[in-house]
Structure 1
Amino acid sequence: MDTNALRLVEGPPPLTHYLRLRRDSGLTPVRADQGAAAITGSWSACHVVDAGGVPVAMGRVIGDGGWYFHVVDMATDPGHQRQGLGRRVVEWLIADVRARAPEGAYLSLIGDPPGQRLYRSLGLDDVAPSLGMAMVLGADD
């Protein structure tokens, strides 16, 4: 694959591609209404397109605009993994937060094992002894 044909685009990918990238990269699939809200609720986002304009990688930042910013939806199409696209996306997101957020902003993410080495190489540190926690809300709560 010619990585020179790949272009980083500011903003999230279109909804159909957002949903596809989440699913195909192994992230938890979400419904269209959840994806639409996620896209519009982004503080920052970017994606990478191939020569045909098809999104092949993405990432977003959600945050309060004051001090807390969280990287989410890091996803790369399996056919384009191991080409440095995740690094390009995270570097762009970090640079955007640095440029627009107030000094002293706190940037976090939950790093799944495949991405942990990348995130550490970009200056993110483990938060031990803290531990990430989550809850999926459903109709049976």
Structure 2
Amino acid sequence: MISDKYSITLEKPSVEEFLNLRNKIGWGELDFDLAKMSLDNSLFHVIVRDNTQLIGMGRIVGDGAMYFYIQDVIVDPSYQNSGIGTALMEQLENYLTVAAQKGTTIGLFAAKGKEAFYARFGYILRPSESLGNGMCRFV
């Protein structure tokens, strides 16, 4: 449960806010137009504000049918460990409870050291007994 002084809403952040929050956690520079297109094409957004300041966000991307990916669960470093990440995940999971049907795959890439956080929500590590390594390619 997050503090009553923070507001949580189901809306996308501005591109400037998104880029600023990414920079605060060290994810580096990203082209404005690329970020805008990515936010615009997301399936679902949730944000947390302290007054007007964006302090956390999460979103879901995918095809809206068989594949959903939890993306950009970000909490401003000065607000971490205060329940904001959990509140974001709860909202993302609420959306998925309705949108994801039997046969759906929900994926995510955990930042190093954050695997246990996502395991609390039922996500499993790869590789496992039946699954190979997850892979990605950065451009």
How far 1:74 moved relative to its partner? 1.3
1:48 is matched with 48
**Amino acid of the structure 1 residue aligned with 2:56:** A
How far 1:86 moved relative to its partner? 0.9
Equivalent residue runs for 1:101-112 within 5 Å = 101-112=100-111
Deviates more, 1:40-49 or 1:28-37: 28-37
Verify the 8 A CA contact 1:8 1:47 in the aligned structure 2. yes
The answer to whether 1:10 aligns with 2:22 is: no
How far 1:67 moved relative to its partner? 1.1
RMSD value, Cα: 1.6
What TM-score do the two structures reach when normalised by structure 2?
0.89
Task: Note the residue ranges of structure 2 that are not aligned, 5 or more in a row.
Answer: none
What TM-score do the two structures reach when normalised by structure 1?
0.88
1:127 is matched with 126
Q: SS in structure 1 opposite 2:45?
A: strand
Verify the 8 A CA contact 1:10 1:47 in the aligned structure 2. yes
1:76 is matched with 75
Q: What number of residue pairs does the alignment pair up?
A: 135
Using the aligned pairs only, state the percent identity: 24
How far 1:134 moved relative to its partner? 2.1
**Amino acid of the structure 2 residue aligned with 1:75:** I
Find the aligned partners of 1:90 and 1:22 in 2 and give their Cα distance.
18
Verify the 8 A CA contact 2:58 2:89 in the aligned structure 1. yes
